[in-house]
Amino acid sequence: MSFLSVNCKKCGSPLNISPDSLLNICEYCGYAYSSSEIKDIPIYITPSLSKDEIIKSFNSRMANDSNMRNKHCEIVEVKGVYVPLYITNISAYGNWKGTRTEGSGKYRRTVTLTGNIDLYCDFPIIARKYAHEFGLPQIGDFIFRAPFNNFEKIEWQNISLPVLSVDIREEDSELITKDDFVDELGDQIKGNNRLDKFDFFNCKVAALKKNILLFPLWTVVYRYEGGTYRVAVEGGSGNVISAMEPMFNSQRAMYFAGALGLGAVAGILWHIIWLILTNSDDGDVMKIVILILIGMGISLYTAFILSKRILKSVRIESVHNEPTMPVWKKFGLFR
């Protein structure tokens, strides 16, 4: 990507501005350059912890990790940025109908559930088309936890960091927000009600007001026995949200034992199927065989996943196994 090199109008410091950027902020003095498309959108910022506090969080995490405790790690780089997010006040209403299966065997039954949708919330999306910062998918649960301030009222010199530019247009952000919100809401309703499927899902979404939040994300790069690894720390409260670690032989042995054990379980299940099929002609036996086959398939698949991990030299631990963006919080956080 090509950048335009200019000097800040306020402090004269050099700036590299992307031609597609709608918001650029001087990392030296905090002067904001907004395009006409987003100049009326209020900007908020979560003040970042200091570099020393981020290093303290990193050291604490390593000291309490069973695999990295008492191991010498050399910090190579500590770097923070502000990630821009569109926070949209959402109004949603509608209804839904879904089914789930309860019980087992001849006691299985299908239960139909219905519900209404009527809520207001603040819903975030990342305001960049391409954002590859380590740990970024895990910030969703943290962006509403730390206090934030109006950008115009902060003292920039105390919390200054580079700010990633905004390159998603406001009109495009509204479409992305509505699509992501409906998907997230549907998944949440399904999970909360243990639904197998929706018979219908009707949700009308309106975007009421839009804000921009700048949220701090830090990356600590460290070296251990010749390998280089990363740890992501959210800068609002100092929580380690994702950590890259070396794969130790003890962990490989554990994965190997797990894969071997599950393979043995699959073999035993296959032997049980063979005994059932050769010693019985009862028609109901096929139901039992199918259940055993499913169990065997799960065992083999899990063994395959564990065997793949044996070959990896790096593993990543996150606060969640799945990416958490986006999430929403109660309406009214942004005034």
Measured distance CA(138)–CA(242) in Å, rounded: 7
Measured distance CA(127)–CA(168) in Å, rounded: 6
188 C-beta neighbours (distance < 10 Å), count: 12
Q: Is residue 96 within 8 Å of residue 200, measured between CB atoms?
A: yes
Q: Which two tokens stand for residue 5?
A: 């090199």
Measured distance CA(126)–CA(323) in Å, rounded: 13
Measured distance CA(24)–CA(127) in Å, rounded: 12
Say what the pLDDT of residue 33 is. Answer: 86
329 C-beta neighbours (distance < 10 Å), count: 15
Q: Which two tokens stand for residue 150?
A: 């109006």
Measured distance CA(93)–CA(204) in Å, rounded: 5
Find residue 217's DSSP bridge partners: 81, 234
Measured distance CA(23)–CA(33) in Å, rounded: 6
Say what the pLDDT of residue 27 is. Answer: 86
Q: Tens place of pLDDT for every residue, the chain, 335 residues?
A: 567 788 888 898 888 887 788 888 888 898 888 888 888 899 999 999 999 999 999 999 988 887 777 888 899 999 999 999 999 999 999 999 999 998 876 778 899 999 999 999 999 999 988 878 888 888 888 998 888 999 888 888 888 899 988 989 888 999 999 999 999 999 999 999 999 999 999 999 999 889 999 999 999 999 888 788 899 999 999 999 998 877 655 555 565 566 667 667 767 776 676 676 666 655 556 666 666 667 767 776 676 665 555 455 556 677 765 656 677 776 666 65
What is the b/e burial string over 62-85, where b = at least 16 CB atoms within 10 angstroms of the residue's CB? beeeeebeeeebeeeebebbbbbb
Measured distance CA(295)–CA(281) in Å, rounded: 22
- Domain residue limits, the chain: 43-246+315-330, 251-310
208 C-beta neighbours (distance < 10 Å), count: 11
Q: Is residue 167 within 8 Å of residue 19, measured between CB atoms?
A: no
